[in-house]
Chains A and B, each alone.
Chain A
Amino acid sequence: MITLENTQANAVAAAINDERRRMGSPTVSMVLTLLILTDEMHQAEALVAASLAAREHPMRVIALIERPGRGGAHLDAQIQVGGDEGPGELITCRLYGELSKHAGSVAIPLLLPDTPVVAWWPGASPDSPSTDPIGMHAQRRITDTNTSTTYIQELGVRLENYEPGDTDLSWTRTTPWRSMLAAALDQPVGRVQEVTVHSEPRLASALLIAGWLRKRLNVPTNIVHDKGPGITKVVLKTTQGEVSLSRPDGRVAQLSIPNAPDSPVALPRRTMAELLAEELRRLDPDEVYYQALRGVAAVINPPTKELKANGKKAANSAPAKKKKSE
């Protein structure tokens, strides 16, 4: 680990090259640069996740930690190349004072030439990732709405400012559920007529999976809150009965489909490193995420006739009133 205090970005870049040379491996076969925009509270966990994900995707990880406040503008950096943490390069930059408003000026000289850039906000994220001074350099921008208490408003903001390349870890979290539900509908189970998603309160993932189902199936979609953890159950009412995937304990789920015996399914909640690795597997726009975001709006504000036909109100319709309409 190299520590540079009161330094500049070009000195950091030079130090990385020196370190590479010293280790005898001047060629760099990295596939992307990951920019992590974070604060002191989230940085440790994010760095661990990034270095684990770097085993699958060799990359340069640049954590930019903003330390606004009084005192002069200056940059402190730590560099770690290779070693126990994984094959990539970890660069932690702390931006003090006025400099914390100009993170882009630190990041640009450190980006790997002509390779994709991914920006990740593990905690709070900007309203418009694609026009953010850092986000504008990235072709993939990862936010995490599950961490937010105002998640419904935030999903609305995501939709409003969506640009191809945006994605959200609360969407990534739904992949195993979506995969199992899609596999269930590969079977002859009839046509889906109604969807109910059960989850702990205030969970962006639950809204996104409901939004996805709403858009794909075009049927009334409800959300019911319970104790969790996470998403606990998805029920698809079909013309032949019920497809239900239920996971009360956050680990093992039970899949029931019409005309077939029930079966257990391992559906463990995944670690941040696993989520991030999935996110980095594809760097092109995720159109299905956009679709799910649009579906969220339809779940929260269902057309009136649907409500009547349905006979009951979606549990989320109350907080939805706070959100401005699409």
Chain B
Amino acid sequence: MINPLRDVNDRRLPRVAGPCSLIIFGVTGDLARKKVMPAIYDLANRGLLPPGFALVGFARRDWVDQDFAQIVHDSVREHARTEFREEVWQQLASGIRFIAGDLRSDESFDELRRVVDELDQTRGTRGNHAFYLSIPPGLFPDVINQLRRSGLATAAKDAWRRVVIEKPFGHDTKSAQELNKVVGTVFDSGSVFRIDHYLGKETVQNMLAIRFANAMYEPIWNSNYVDHVQITMAEDIGIGGRAGYYDGIGAARDVIQNHLLQLLALTAMEEPNSFLAHSVRVEKEKVLSALVLPRDIEKHSARGQYAAGWQGGVEVKGFLEEEGIDPKSITETYAAIRVDIDNRRWAGVPFYLRAGKRLGRRVTEVAVTFKRAPHLPFSSTATQELSNNVIVFRIQPDEGMTVRFGSKVPGTALEVRDVNMDFAYGDTFTEASPEAYERLILDVLLGDPPLFPRHSEVELQWKILDPILERWAKRGQPEQYHSGGWGPESSYEMMARDGRMWRRP
């Protein structure tokens, strides 16, 4: 039945999720505490969660509901983006449940089943439940099988069950396929939501708006005008306490495979027919399947490990000295690759992707560098300080857009120099600019999939990375680089070979 109170012209009314619950596995993890639970509070605070919303925690802890509520409370107080309001908290707290259980135990999942049924009765969740697997992928098969065995994966008519998984989606093509098989046997592909939190970011969505809502960018968005594109994700921190996760994974698998290749797809894809999930995915897959690697991977890639040194005024350990890391580890903490796109729009325009830890500062950006003007009617001295025009999408932390172009230096002599023009819309502390997890969790509860990569994209992304990883695995230990700098020597050489330079982001 059509809801008579809804009207497409009524743009003030936000999308509010219908009655449902979210069941989180691995509530004691960092991600759940710092991102997921605060995001749920922020959603409730903005009035976007249904009144009877329930939050269920599952972990091997000797807790009761109140203990878990206290954990959620503390994480909300510490990490939530919006102001703490007692009444919002009370609304949320009355729906909090906890299962002290083991991921392999039949009993624990029978108990979960009982709780979920109870929520349908007491909270009116109407059989709609999302399972958030905030656990290592090695444990997915156990949980997925238990969800099937206990009947939790099956929804009644007019209700839904969804599963949310976080990266890494495997560690190569083969393992990604296996993982997909495990999840796919129980949940159909429309019910699986893979979270790549970059895609929930305001600026990433704004990239599409800027490209496709304007007249002035798309005509020059091709090999006639673009020289090359650099996509960078730099972190200033080291691996911190994540040695167990990071060793054997490395920067390429951790960041390039998912975030950077998704950013590449959004930068390079053709205009989708619409912004419906299907149309956007079709375009992303098309461009991802057109990616090719250089013939000589060695010459067009770089990798490194951060060495002990000083970063931002603090003395820091090298990667190999970090606790829990094998001193002979060949895992890279810096990775840079070149990929090309075999289509008419991008022929001859290299895309350089780099990701690293302990670099100069924390920044993620997409920089589209243009060719120089074909002719400069100035004396050569006048344009000595002029370089290529650039459009930069700043993804984080200072979200916005920068345009670099040449302008005359004021004075009697004619001299042209690079200047930057910045645009930053609003600030991230306002209600209207949600944190990525808020946006994505709400989309899961609404069943709105455009921002979630589907398995075929994940697989295409692994296919690009597999040959590089194989190659690197044979090459022994990566080169050491200075903490607090911008990566290993080999990364500069890789660009110099193409006659280009990395931007200092």
Contacts and interface: CB of A to CB of B under 8 A. Distances in A.
Interface of A: 27, 29, 31, 55-58, 87, 172, 175-176, 178-183, 185-188, 192, 213, 216-217, 251-252, 255, 257, 260-261, 263-268, 274, 277-278, 281-282, 286-288
B367 to A, nearest CB: 19
Contacts of B14: 179
Contact of B47 (A57, A58, A266): A266
Nearest to B400: A29
Given A56-B430, A186-B18, A268-B85, A192 B51 contact: no
Contacts of B421: 27
A175 B421 CA distance: 37
B45 interface: yes
B90 A178 contact: no
Interface string B6-17: 110111111010
Nearest to A219: B4
Interface in B409-427: 421-427
5 contacts: A56-B432, A178-B10, A183-B18, A255-B51, A281-B432
A56 B9 CA distance: 23
Contact of A183 (B10, B50, B124, B433): B50
Given A179-B16, A288-B9, A288-B10, A87 B427 contact: yes
Q: Which 6 A-B pairs have the closest CB atoms?
A: A260-B124, A263-B51, A56-B430, A266-B88, A182-B5, A183-B16
B123 interface: yes
Contact of A260 (B3, B19, B432): B19
B162 to A, nearest CB: 18
Contact of B426 (A58, A183, A251, A257): A58
B88 A29 contact: no
B122 A261 contact: yes
A217 B4 contact: yes
B74 interface: no
B431 A277 contact: yes
B317 to A, nearest CB: 39
Given A29-B424, A252-B87, A261-B123, A56 B433 contact: yes
A266 B4 contact: no
A175 B121 CA distance: 29
Contact of A180 (B47, B88, B122, B433): B47
A264 B94 contact: yes
A27 to B, nearest CB: 6
A278 B12 CA distance: 8
A265 B425 CA distance: 31
B52 interface: yes
B183 interface: no
A110 B18 CA distance: 47
A135 B423 CA distance: 29
A266 B91 contact: yes
Interface string B216-256: 00000000000000000000000000000000000000000
A263 B52 contact: yes
Given A55-B427, A55-B429, A255-B51, 8 more contacts: A29-B424, A216-B4, A257-B124, A263-B52, A263-B124, A277-B432, A288-B7, A288-B12
B494 interface: no
A29 B422 contact: yes
A58 B422 CA distance: 14
Nearest to B93: A264
B44 interface: yes
Contacts of A261: 52, 121-124
